[in-house]
Amino acid sequence: MSSPASRNGNHEATRMVEFRVWRGDRSGGAFQTYSVQVTQGMVVLDCIHRIQADQANDLAVRWNCKAGKCGSCSAEINGHPKLMCMTRMDALPADRPVTVEPMRSFPAIRDLVTDVSWNFRMKRRIKPFKPRRPDRPDGSWTMMQEDVDRVQEFRKCIECFLCQDVCHVLRDHHKHDEFIGPRFLMYTAALEMHPLDTEDRIADLKQENGIGYCNITKCCTKVCPEHIGITDNAIIPMKERVVDEFYDPLTRLFRIFKPR
Amino acid sequence: MSLPDSFIVHEHDVLVIGAGGAGLRAAIEASAAGVKVGVICKSLLGKAHTVMAEGGMAAAMGNVDDRDGWEVHFADTMRGGQYLNNPVMAEHHAKEAPERVRELEAWGAVFDRTKDGRILQRNFGGHRYPRLAHVGDRTGLELIRTLQDHGIHQGMEVFMEMTVVSLLKSGGRVNGALGYDRERGRMHVWKAKAVVLATGGIGKAFRITSNSWEGTGDGHALAYHAGAELMDMEFVQFHPTGMVWPPSVRGLLVTEGVRGEGGVLRNSEGRRFMFDDVPDAYKNQVAKDEEEGWRYVCGDKNANRPPELLTRDHVARCINREIKAGRGSPHGGVFLDIAWIKEKLPNAGAHIQRKLPSMYHQFKQLAGVDITTERMEVGPTTHYVMGGVLVNGDTQESSVPGLFAAGEVAAGLHGANRLGGNSLSDLIVFGKLAGEHAAKYAKANRAVEIDAAEVAAKTAALEEPFARRAGENPYAIQSQLQDSMQDLVGIVRTHDEMERAIGIIEDLKKRAKNVAVSGHREYNPGWHTAIDLGCLLTVSESIARSAIDRKESRGAQFRDDFPKKDDACSTFNLVCRKAADGSMEVSRRPLPPMRDELKAVIEKMK
């Protein structure tokens, strides 16, 4: 897991930056300080790799693509949930140390690596895609681009879980058993808004999956590295469907006078 | 002798190693056949390198141009591979890809649409017609997420962040695998009746690569040491367009989709140099001027493709030549310009952002370049290995009974050079075949007991680095290997340089036996790097040895000392195997025979 960063030529201006990196495991830990030579264009993940290659071979960090596409290197940088690979050093204040710590809403494994397995369990709880019968004999369907634009927006999600990390329902109130978090509310929305899908997940959203806990503070939307309109485009419409199904007084009244 | 209690033992009918597109597709197929399936992911589920694929998956559905069909796709693939491909695989691929793509839609994938609501297809290098089903420039994400979300409901057992370090064998058959989990560093033994390798590529053998840390050739090495054969290892694809600046993202992929959407390559003099050198095999398929090239991009069926959409091996060499001749960009690349299309389209900025959103994002955020108004700087980057485990073209089974391989780790489909877009389709076509035949094998064969002594010996070797107090830094050895491969076995090769590389590899092999790691076993990247080193050294050696033995330039291999294609070399593939004394043996294998019907297809499409 070394990085090319360790061998780059110094043909750009360099400076020394102090890093405070959280090191520890399930039982606790502390910040340790490292000094890193930073050249132009470097991102935080490059610096972590440089520390790993030269000063702390066993510094644990999870990463893959280093291009903002896989969503593995989520962390809290100077207190903000971010992808380490997409956070440029020159975008951070130069006059103080850079703090890097693991996502705090998930249990620590080691150093910057957290146990995100809860997310994978939550996803399995959601009823899978169930398409209508194909439109054509070759098994294909007709869907217009304008009808899939919204679903495609949600499907840009790289599952970095930064939205889950920042959500106060999980972070502060630890409702992991009753609330699936913004990522999976949006995942449900992507299925519900899929033009071919025939499944109904609205009752699950209200009951097992706890959509009511979300009080639309939009923290999830703010940290999304893919700039998906999680709250406005996914969660609010799902809340509206729940309301329509369970709380709308007109619908209730209508049902009294004209029972189904 | 039985396994000690410290081992965690699992039992499956089919064990799939790797959870990218090929692995997940194999696991889905095997699960559908009703056998018990385990899938091992080196990273978290859904993070495999497939996620990085951008442009699309090639399938001759003919949604955009109805002249397309399997015969055209087959001929394009064979021509692109310089006829070293296994025609049986190229035929399966061309015929089955459309059905595999439609199946993804049935599992929830949402592809971009044509005006009449079908799956949209885009142009790509070496494909005669618009053929790539895609989702903007994040097709790989769509593929892996679709397979993941479908797969988790099919009953397979998923092992995340675990690495296999050795295949286990008994009586000549594969019967399982040995590995560790990253979280705790515990040893695991998976007993299995059949094993599917789907471990992807080897990019990390080179310094400049589009591959993530995972691309260390694990499956190639596992298969080789288990007695399987590696074929075509000299053919490593250098993608023509990787980022070159800033230094920390050097090698990061810039999708061919940029050129598919009208992006052009220029040197420092502003010349579109790709027009200067068009290979004979493509003379009839390339635009005669810039105007015709643009008409092709716009979908004019009577126009030929711009030369930027020639095959990757050729484009990479042309770029390399411009840079070497001193006509490169400030940071040692050439210019890729998509912004120029504003001369042709009224709302070009918005169009680029819609068609290439993650490229826009990537350059804006990492390089501070706005691709809707500015040129990009790009240069070749190690991207893909055409070579891999030699498999039966119909079943994906290797020469070791019970061991299958699919996707990048397998050889055969792409020959000497892969066409863009043929990788994602490779994954789903051959992932399915491998899963199907592995399940069949598992049903027909009984489980074979694990040899506990073999496991103990292999485990002891893994733990040695912890015992050494003063030893080599694994990262330093890895860097040195990457530098040597980049400089001596890269895009332009010579006999002498590659012999030097072999010498260095032999030396590094000795030093790798003396690596030391600090800390403990839990999530220890130093230890993992030390383990991956063995795989990287094996694949590097096989690349260098094969490249030395192919004394010609063909496809992805360019030899400065043999700059021409040699007909005498068009009759064989090179195959590496582990000899009885442990050394690597390279031999020539005659090309598999081609049916007359397929020969006729190639003639017809010339």
- Report the length, in residues, of chain A: 260
Q: Is A105 exposed, middle or buried (0-12, 13-18, 19+ CB in 10 A)?
A: buried
Judge whether B481 and B508 are in contact, CB under 8 Å.
yes
The CATH 3.50.50.60 portion of chain B extends over: 8-205+215-229+393-444
- Rg from Cα positions in chain A: 22
Architecture of domain B457-590: Up-down Bundle (1.20)
The CATH 1.20.58.100 portion of chain B extends over: 457-590
Give the span between the Cα atoms of A107 and A95, in whole angstroms: 31
3-state secondary structure of A217: coil
The confidence score (pLDDT) of residue A249 equals 79
The per-residue pLDDT for range B220-246, each reduced to its tens digit, is 999 999 999 999 999 999 999 999 998
- DSSP assignment of B308-323: GGS-HHHHHHHHHHHH
Q: Is A249 on the interface with B (CB under 8 A)?
A: no
Closest residue of A to B104, CA-based? Answer: A140
Quick check: is A243 in a domain? yes
Mutate to test the interface with A, among B114, B120, B248 (most CBs of A within 10 A): B248
- Catalytic: B259? yes
Give the span between the Cα atoms of B557 and B386, in whole angstroms: 11
Q: Which residues 63-82 in chain A show a CB within 8 A of chain B?
A: 63-72
Judge whether B411 and B386 are in contact, CB under 8 Å.
yes
The confidence score (pLDDT) of residue A247 equals 85
The per-residue pLDDT for range B173-221, each reduced to its tens digit, is 999 999 999 999 999 999 999 999 999 999 999 999 999 999 999 999 9
The confidence score (pLDDT) of residue B218 equals 98
Give the span between the Cα atoms of B206 and A97, in whole angstroms: 33
- B53 pLDDT exceeds 80? yes
Task: Compute the nearest-CA separation of A249 from chain B (Å).
Answer: 35
Cβ–Cβ of B108/A131 closer than 8 Å?
yes
* Chain A hits for B483, Cβ within 8 Å: 7
Same-domain pairing of A146 and A218: yes
Residue B322 Cα distances to B19, B227, B265, angstroms: 39, 43, 11
Give the span between the Cα atoms of A105 and B453, in whole angstroms: 43
For residue A50, the domain's CATH number is: 3.10.20.30
Same-domain pairing of A217 and A246: yes
Give the span between the Cα atoms of B333 and B319, in whole angstroms: 8
Residue whose token pair is 């495991």:
A25
Cβ–Cβ of A138/B43 closer than 8 Å?
no
Q: Is A139 on the interface with B (CB under 8 A)?
A: yes
Among residues A114, A142, A166, the one where a domain terminates is A114
- B166 pLDDT exceeds 50? yes
Protein fold of B239-382: Flavocytochrome C3; Chain A, domain 1 (3.90.700)
Quick check: is A255 in a domain? no
Beta-carbon neighbour count of residue B299 at 10 Å?
11
Percent of chain B past pLDDT 90, that is, above it, reads: 91
Cβ–Cβ of B358/A68 closer than 8 Å?
yes
Same-domain pairing of A161 and A39: no
Same-domain pairing of A137 and A55: no
Task: Compute the nearest-CA separation of B250 from chain A (Å).
Answer: 8
Give the span between the Cα atoms of A220 and B275, in whole angstroms: 49
Catalytic residue among B127, B259, B266, B554: B259
Side chain identity at residue B268, one-letter code: S
Same-domain pairing of A166 and A186: yes
3-state secondary structure of A230: helix
> Which residues in B441-450 are b (16+ Cβ under 10 Å) and which e?
bbeeeeebeb
pLDDT bin (cut points 50, 70, 90) of residue B298 is very high
Judge whether B144 and B50 are in contact, CB under 8 Å.
yes
> Cis omega before residue B246 (within 30°)?
yes
The confidence score (pLDDT) of residue A7 equals 39
Catalytic residue among B93, B239, B351, B528: B239
Cβ–Cβ of B52/A65 closer than 8 Å?
yes
The confidence score (pLDDT) of residue A258 equals 63
Cβ–Cβ of B117/A67 closer than 8 Å?
no
Beta-carbon neighbour count of residue B597 at 10 Å?
9
Closest residue of B to A149, CA-based? Answer: B112
Cβ–Cβ of B110/A109 closer than 8 Å?
no
Closest residue of A to B253, CA-based? Answer: A67
CATH of the domain spanning B8-205+215-229+393-444: 3.50.50.60
**How far out from the chain centre does Cα B342 lie?**
34
Closest residue of B to A46, CA-based? Answer: B248
Q: Tell me, letter by letter, the H, E, C secondary structure of B81-103.
A: CCCCCCHHHHHHHHHHHHHHHHH
Give the span between the Cα atoms of B592 and A197, in whole angstroms: 45
Taking only the tens of pLDDT, chain A with its 260 residues reads: 334 433 334 345 789 999 999 999 999 999 999 999 999 889 999 999 999 988 998 899 999 999 999 999 999 999 999 999 999 999 999 899 999 999 999 999 999 999 999 999 999 999 999 999 999 999 999 999 999 999 999 999 999 999 999 999 999 999 999 999 999 999 999 999 999 999 999 999 999 999 999 999 999 999 999 999 999 999 999 999 999 988 887 777 776 666 54
The confidence score (pLDDT) of residue B205 equals 98
Q: What is the mean pLDDT of residues B575-589?
A: 98
Give the span between the Cα atoms of B3 and B6, in whole angstroms: 8
Q: Is A121 on the interface with B (CB under 8 A)?
A: no
Q: Is A39 on the interface with B (CB under 8 A)?
A: yes
Same-domain pairing of A233 and A131: yes
Q: Max alpha carbon distance in chain A (Å)? A: 79
The closest CB to that of A155, out of B46, B105, B142, belongs to B142
Q: Is A130 on the interface with B (CB under 8 A)?
A: no
Which residues face A28 on adjacent strands? A25
Helix or strand holding residue B377 (H, E): strand B376-385
Task: Compute the nearest-CA separation of A196 from chain B (Å).
Answer: 8
* Strand segments (E) across B209-346: 230-231, 236-243, 264-266, 334-337
Same-domain pairing of A70 and A130: no
The chain-wide mean pLDDT, for chain B, equals 95
- Catalytic: B239? yes
Mutate to test the interface with B, among A65, A103, A116 (most CBs of B within 10 A): A65
Quick check: is A236 in a domain? yes
Judge whether B410 and B228 are in contact, CB under 8 Å.
no
The closest CB to that of B44, out of A5, A69, A72, belongs to A72
Of the CA atoms within 13 Å of residue B462, those in its CB half-sphere come to: 23
* Chain B hits for A129, Cβ within 8 Å: 107-108, 149-150
Q: Which residues 156-215 in chain A show a CB within 8 A of chain B?
A: 156, 158-159, 191, 194, 197
Task: Compute the nearest-CA separation of B563 from chain A (Å).
Answer: 31
Q: Is A152 on the interface with B (CB under 8 A)?
A: yes
Closest by CA position to B398, among listed B571, B178, B194: B194
Number of folded domains that form chain A: 2
The per-residue pLDDT for range B488-527, each reduced to its tens digit, is 999 999 999 999 999 999 999 999 999 999 888 999 999 9
The closest CB to that of A144, out of B113, B135, B520, belongs to B113
Same-domain pairing of A239 and A130: yes
* Chain B hits for A2, Cβ within 8 Å: 213, 475, 478-479, 529
The closest CB to that of A1, out of B102, B160, B525, belongs to B525
Judge whether B337 and B294 are in contact, CB under 8 Å.
no
Give the span between the Cα atoms of B55 and B4, in whole angstroms: 48
pLDDT bin (cut points 50, 70, 90) of residue B46 is very high
Judge whether B348 and B302 are in contact, CB under 8 Å.
no
The confidence score (pLDDT) of residue A221 equals 98
- B30 pLDDT exceeds 80? yes
Quick check: is A174 in a domain? yes
Helix or strand holding residue B58 (H, E): strand B57-58
Structure tokens at B328: 């490169």
Same-domain pairing of A121 and A161: yes
Among residues A98, A114, A130, the one where a domain terminates is A114
- State the DSSP code for B343: G
Closest residue of A to B150, CA-based? Answer: A128
Give the span between the Cα atoms of B34 and A53, in whole angstroms: 46
* Chain A hits for B530, Cβ within 8 Å: none
The closest CB to that of B247, out of A39, A60, A70, belongs to A39
Task: Compute the nearest-CA separation of B61 from chain A (Å).
Answer: 11
Among residues A49, A81, A114, the one where a domain terminates is A114
Same-domain pairing of A145 and A105: no
Which residues face B264 on adjacent strands? B337
Q: Is A124 on the interface with B (CB under 8 A)?
A: yes
For residue A169, the domain's CATH number is: 1.10.1060.10
Q: Max alpha carbon distance in chain B (Å)? A: 75
- B77 pLDDT exceeds 80? yes
Q: What is the mean pLDDT of residues B112-136?
A: 95
Domain encompassing residue A93: 4-114
Q: Tell me, letter by letter, the H, E, C secondary structure of A84-128.
A: HHHCEHHHCCCCCCEEEECCCCCCEEECCEECCHHHHHHHHHCCC
Cβ–Cβ of B246/A144 closer than 8 Å?
no
The per-residue pLDDT for range B519-572, each reduced to its tens digit, is 889 999 999 999 999 999 999 999 999 999 999 999 999 999 999 999 999 999
Cβ–Cβ of B51/A194 closer than 8 Å?
no
- Angle made by CA atoms B594, B596, B600, in degrees to the nearest 5: 105
Task: Compute the nearest-CA separation of A245 from chain B (Å).
Answer: 25
Q: Is A110 on the interface with B (CB under 8 A)?
A: yes
The CATH 3.90.700.10 portion of chain B extends over: 239-382
